[in-house]
Structure 1
Amino acid sequence: MSDTSYDIIIIGGGPGGYVAAIRAAQLGFKTAVVEKSHLGGICLNWGCIPTKALLRSAEIYHYMEHAKDYGLSASGVGFDINAVIQRSRGVASQLSTGVGFLMKKNKIDVIWGKATLSAPGKLKVEAAENAPKGALGGGDYAAKNIIIATGARPRALPGIEPDKKLIWTYFEALKPDRMPKSLLVMGSGAIGIEFASFYRTLGAEVTVVEVMPQILPVEDHEIAAHVRKRLEKQGMKILTDAKVAGVKKNADSVTATVVTKDGKSQEITADRMISAVGVQGNIEGLGLEALGVKTDRGCIVTDGLGRTNVPGLYAIGDVAGPPMLAHKAEHEGVICVEGIKGLHVHPMDKAKIPGCTYCNPQVASVGLTENKAKEAGRKIRVGRFPFIGNGKAIALGEPEGLVKTIFDAETGELIGAHMVGAEVTELIQGFVVAMNLETTEEDLMHTVFPHPTLSETMHESVLDAYGRVIHT
């Protein structure tokens, strides 16, 4: 095998790509990753990680502002937006460097540049300008197996395209030139609500516009309603069943025309606007058309093991379709590589992929919502437990929250879990494990949860579904 020939080449060094590469190396494959800009992809550099760093700063600031609620005193509380951003970028840089270390540790070649499929099993790479000195770059490469993991980019609406100055994507929202006094957020999915929460906590006047009837449209209706109430209590303005019909750019602000479902319109002026209307897979310019790769609605069509309709060509992560989440991409990468190796693997079960939103309050969920379960014709039992009934939540000063569990009434199978409140993004994995183990209500009711912990709300929610709740 020549220096430019590999067992597996992965196009894209994001969470899906680099995890797939590491697993491939563990299984003995000669492996390379093609990356055009930053190892770690959008997630580590411009998405999941740096946004959590920003939100952590906002959280600490919130606690400092409310020190008296904990019997403490703090004066002169403030923030330096540049320092907040610098910390966030430092966290991202540290993790991206860590991925580079993992590539070296696992003897994975990193080819710096933009890859195009030139023929089955063959790639042409155009060298990247920011390639490290002495690194592999432009040229022709070959592999028995090629995995596409090129991620996604912000979606833009015609006529309301981001300009990086007045209308931002998450890229600009992560590194504002100054702290805006007012902000309009178009879209209330996880990205939109997280940025809305961050900027509102730091004092900006924030308005969120959502075309659907509820914010966080993929979440259970009760959870979304709870979040909306909490955000509005914090001073955020939220318009649902509404759309931004047009935007006028001023010298240093934007004026949006917002039209509601009933046809009424209003103009909202803000310093800056964030377009958070979703993301789309990066499938252009890869040479897919020439090879006859099947796509659908902007994504590469794959089976549950990442295989496309072209032998030896695979796709994982955002380009392989929703949910467009880093942890989904990572798991797909492992499944894909283990399938190539011939190991016995289970196809991806998208019904058991958790979703998390790191606003204040946090939101986490897995499985079917109550409405989706009913639409599917399932007979269900639903349990609920409020944080106000939990000792740890009260001690933390976080008594507002809710855990909701959904069971199949005939089998006792846990088919959905939905949570809002402090640290629920850390709690949800308990329900994810339970669902993967095909746990029933009996198993969960007989499980001993430690006291005092927030996890007891999970237990009580299960008990409530079967008329056995203790603390309400």
Structure 2
Amino acid sequence: MDYDVLVIGSGPGGYVAAIRASQLGMKVAVVEKENIGGICLNWGCIPTKSLLKSAQALEYAKHAVDYGVLISGDVKADFPGMVKRSRDVAGGMSKGVQFLFKKNKIASIDGFGKLAGKNTVEVTDDSGKKKNYTAKHIILATGARSRELPNLAIDGKKIIGYRKAMALDKQPESMVVVGSGAIGSEFAYFYQSIGTNVTLVEFMPTLVPNEDQEVAKQLERSFKKMKMKVLTSSSVEKVDTSGKKCKVTIKTKKGEETVEADIVLSAVGITPNTENIGLEEMGINTEKGRVKVDEFYRTNVEGVYAIGDILAGPALAHVASAEGITCVEKIAGLNPEPIDYNNIPGCTYTNPEISSVGLTEEKAKEAGYEVKVGKFPYSASGKASAAGQKDGFIKLIFDAKYGELLGAHMIGGNVTEMIAELVVAKKLEITGHELIKTIHPHPTMSEAVMEAAAAAYDEVIHI
């Protein structure tokens, strides 16, 4: 065999799996058809956070007088400068992963990888030349791309996906964003905050449909405060791109309306990259277009594994990384603990930020739990007031019988950093009373977690 482990795809699942396999003494190679680091690092998680930081800097500058700072002259967005910074940040991170490959003696193979028989991967390079490589273990980590709706075909010019939204030549005056999941909401916030007139369209009754309903309503209030047009329980019926602007026909609760916009951003989910990678030829089982695996990511074909967005689980970078590590540790003969998919944190990097883990209040009640709910508003947080970020709250759901933390739902400043505490608490089965008695530093936004727990048991001090 050429390698012990060969990974197809170098995103946060693939490259992390490769590095861990190398640490465990295996000879490793990674096949990548485009950029080392995959979509997340080059066109997703990292560059979007760079754009959002630029938007935050602009908002601070615009409201500097609220903090006792005077800025003379116009404060406005340098859109090309924001895009350049974003691309530079992504480029630097990609080079960092390339360095880690060299450090860990991981071979990087350029080209499109495809299963081509037992223990064999065929790689086609840009010139069309094919070469076979063999490995004892092959990990599929091919990721996903923007999903296209039949009536919202992406042309890359007027109707775009998230990737193009990160590198437009110029800032659009107006934009319709279709879909309010994490990707749609983040781009809607970014473009509205830098001066684009955004209309956000969501098919479900609330924004960020997977989040707690109270969190969703708070995000909608915050977006409307920015003068964003928000349409829930609405759907885009058709888009006419024949003119200078797009004419977007939207079916709303009140009937049809037409919105004109320079750009339509389709953010209606993702499609796994499972085509032409040899699944059918190898007889690998799939379900609804996604690869079926066991708890250690083994497919039904010996020696072939799959991780990340091509599976049925949550399409999140940190999940793909954890799956990659679990997969290769099992290959190496270790005894890794299977991932608990009920304890996966989710984050949305709008302003205010959103983070959550576990059951929502609605889901907990549906599951038959009697619950205690504690909620602490940021308006009562000294640190949030000092930071000028009073919108938001912390909401915790506990099992009334045993005090177990069932879910945490946060919206407000810094909550994407704070959620890890609740993930650890949930993993360790910490009770509400233990959380209350864990002393949190003051003044911090994180002490709102302690206060929310206290609110569930009528012990809250500051509200």
Matches within 5 A, 1:236-275: 236-261=228-253, 264-275=255-266
Work out the CA distance in 2 between the residues paired with 1:350 and 1:248: 42
1:27-176 mapped onto 2 (5 Å cutoff): 27-75=24-72, 76-128=74-126, 138-176=130-168
Preserved contact between residue 64 and residue 74 of structure 1 (Cα < 8 Å): yes
Kindly indicate whether the alpha-carbon contact (under 8 Å) linking 2:433 and 2:453 is maintained by their aligned counterparts in 1: no
TM-fit CA distance, 1:399: 1.4
1:4-23 paired onto structure 2 within 5 Å: 5-23=2-20
Asked whether the 8 Å contact 1:317–1:328 carries over to 2, the reply is yes
1:346-375 alpha-carbon deviations (Å, 9 max, x no partner): 111111110000011110001111111111
Equivalent residue, structure 2, for 1:133:
none
* Letter in structure 2 aligned against 1:44: L
Residue 321 of structure 1, CA deviation? 2.2
Report if aligned partners of 1:37, 1:128 keep a CA contact under 8 Å in 2. no
DSSP 3-state at the match of 2:433: helix
Instruction: Tell me how far apart the structure 1 counterparts of residues 435 and 186 of structure 2 sit (CA, whole Å).
Output: 32
- State the TM-score, normalizing by the size of structure 1: 0.96
| Deviation (angstroms), 1:32 | 0.6
In 1, the alpha carbon distance for the partners of 2:294 and 2:453 equals 34
Aligned counterpart, 1:194: 186
The whole-number CA distance in structure 1 between the counterparts of 2:429 and 2:118 is 41
Amino acid at match of 2:90: A
Q: List runs of 5+ in structure 1 lacking aligned partners.
A: 131-136
Tell me if structure 1 keeps the 8 A contact 2:406–2:426. Answer: yes
> Partner residue of 2:224?
232
**Match in the other structure for 1:402:** 393
Distance in 2 between residues matched to 1:202 and 1:391, nearest whole Å: 28
Letter in 2 for 1:68: V
Aligned to 1:134: none
Distance 2:461 2:184 in 1: 37
Conserved 8 A contact 2:389-2:412: yes
Residue 382 (structure 1) aligns with: 373
Asked if 1:208 corresponds to 2:200, the answer is yes
Q: CA deviation at 1:50?
A: 0.4
Measured against aligned partners, the alpha-carbon deviations of 1:96-130 in whole angstroms (never above 9, x if no partner) come to 01100000000000111101111121111101359
Shift of residue 252 of structure 1? 2.7
1:402 CA displacement = 0.4
Q: Separation in 2 of the partners of 1:179 and 1:398?
A: 27
Give how far 1:389 is off. Answer: 1.0
Q: Contact conserved, 1:387 with 1:421, CA < 8 A, in 2?
A: yes
Moved over 4 A (4+): none
CA distance in 1, matches of 2:393, 2:55: 22
Quick check: 58-67 or 302-311, which moved more? 302-311
Contact 2:151/2:237 (<8 A) preserved: no
Q: Secondary structure at the match of 1:88?
A: helix
C-alpha displacement of 1:196? 0.3
Counterpart check, 1:341 vs 2:332: yes
| Deviation at residue 251 of structure 1 after TM alignment | 3.3
Counterpart contact for 1:147–1:314, Cα < 8 Å = yes
Does the C-alpha gap of structure 1 residues 129 and 374 become closer, same or farther in structure 2, counting only changes over 3 Å?
farther
For the 8 Å contact 1:112–1:138, the answer to whether it is kept is no
Alignment counterpart, residue 319 of structure 2, candidates 328, 331, 334: 328
Aligned to 1:357: 348
State which drifts further: 247-256 or 422-431. Answer: 247-256
CA–CA separation in structure 1 for the residues paired with 2:236 and 2:151: 10
Percent identity reads 50
Instruction: Report the residue type matching 1:393 in the other structure.
Output: A
- Report the TM-score, using the length of structure 2 for normalisation: 0.98
Cα distance between partner residues in 1 of 2:127 and 2:421 = 44
Deviation at 1:442, TM superposition (A): 2.3
Segment drifting more, 154-163 vs 72-81: 72-81
* Structure 2 residue runs without a partner (length 5+): none
Q: Deviations over 1:163-217 (max 9, x none)?
A: 1100110111101121111110000000000000000001111101110010000
1:439 to 430, 454, 457: 430
Superposed counterparts of 1:430-469, under 5 Å: 430-469=421-460
Structure 2 counterpart of 1:11, which letter? I
Query: How many angstroms apart in 2 are the aligned matches of 1:465 and 1:152?
Result: 40
Tell me the secondary structure at the aligned position of residue 363 of structure 1.
Answer: strand
Match of 1:223 among 186, 207, 215: 215
SS in 2 for 1:60: helix
8 Å CA contact retained: 1:213, 1:240: yes
Question: How big is the alpha-carbon RMSD for the aligned residues of Structure 1 and Structure 2?
Answer: 1.2
Determine if contact 1:369/1:416 at 8 Å carries over to the other structure. yes
SS of the residue 1:350 aligns to: coil
**Which amino acid is the alignment partner of residue 121 of structure 2?**
L
Distance 1:332 1:365 in 2: 20
Going from structure 1 to structure 2, the CA distance change for 1:292 and 1:261 (only over 3 Å counts) comes to: farther
Q: Distance in 2 between matches of 1:85 and 1:147?
A: 33
